[in-house]
Amino acid sequence: MKKAFSLVELAIVLTIISILVAGAVGGTKVLRLSELNGVIKTITKHKSDINTFFSIYTALPGDIDNAQDLWGSAGNLDNGNGDGVIDWSSETFDAHLHMSKAEIIADSGYTGVSGGYAMPIDFNDGEAFLINTKSHFGYYIQNINILQIASEINNALFIPKDAYYIDKKLDDGAPKTGKVTFRNLGAATSNDAACTNSSTGYYISSETVGCNIVFDINM
């Protein structure tokens, strides 16, 4: 006949299980913070790379008006108009291509056309692209050049508390003001209800992916 566990033995087993569960949960949180800090590093590095491009060429990537003189016209590489605005769509399509041709960023297969202009982000298969918010809906601050980080260009990539973490590290922690905001795309997955619960702050209690990130890159 097998001997039953004593209360002391059961207590030891439950304690060990609790420690293992706590370690697993803690490890998951550490991994998540590491991933989010990686996104922050990517954003700050890209802003620095844009500044480097501007300091060399006195123009923004995509908007530079003598790009073909510098790098040729192969691969759909076009000139911008030099007005200081990264216009949709041609200049947005060329922005990362210009930066890669200048050897400021690695070439991630940029083609200068739709489907080959976004920079890959190492977080849930995210993407980032450069554009000016002028005349585009859903941006809380108009007429600025921005880096937008999202899923499939415009969809939500972050749960609200993760977007808040990034915003707080880089800016004011508010989704509709400052250097870091989000794009309210209404019916799309990144919208006011999903990201902010239609308020002035992030919807921290929500575990549903509902936010993209918009970062002001103006000089």
Amino acid, single-letter form, for residue 189: T
Average pLDDT for runs of 10 along the chain of length 219: 64 72 64 93 96 98 98 93 96 98 96 94 94 94 96 93 97 97 87 96 97 93
Angle at 151 between CA 116 and CA 120, to 5 degrees: 45
Residue 1's pLDDT is 53
The domain ranges of the chain are 7-58+118-216
Distance of CA 110 to the CA centre of its chain: 18
Residue 161's pLDDT is 97
Residue 72's pLDDT is 95
CA dist 76 to 73, 91, 112, 117, 215, Å? 6, 11, 5, 11, 27
Residue with tokens 């990130």: 213
Residues 139-182: tens digit of each pLDDT: 999 999 999 999 988 899 999 999 999 999 999 999 999 999 99
Residue 3's pLDDT is 59
Q: Is the N-terminal amide bond of 89 cis, ω within 30° of 0?
A: yes
Residue 14's pLDDT is 75
SS3 content of the chain, % helix, strand, coil (to 5): 40, 10, 50
Residue 27's pLDDT is 63
Residue 147's pLDDT is 97
Residue 101's pLDDT is 97
> With contact defined as beta carbons under 8 Å apart, do 130 and 147 qualify?
yes
C-alpha R_g of the chain: 22
Residue 23's pLDDT is 59
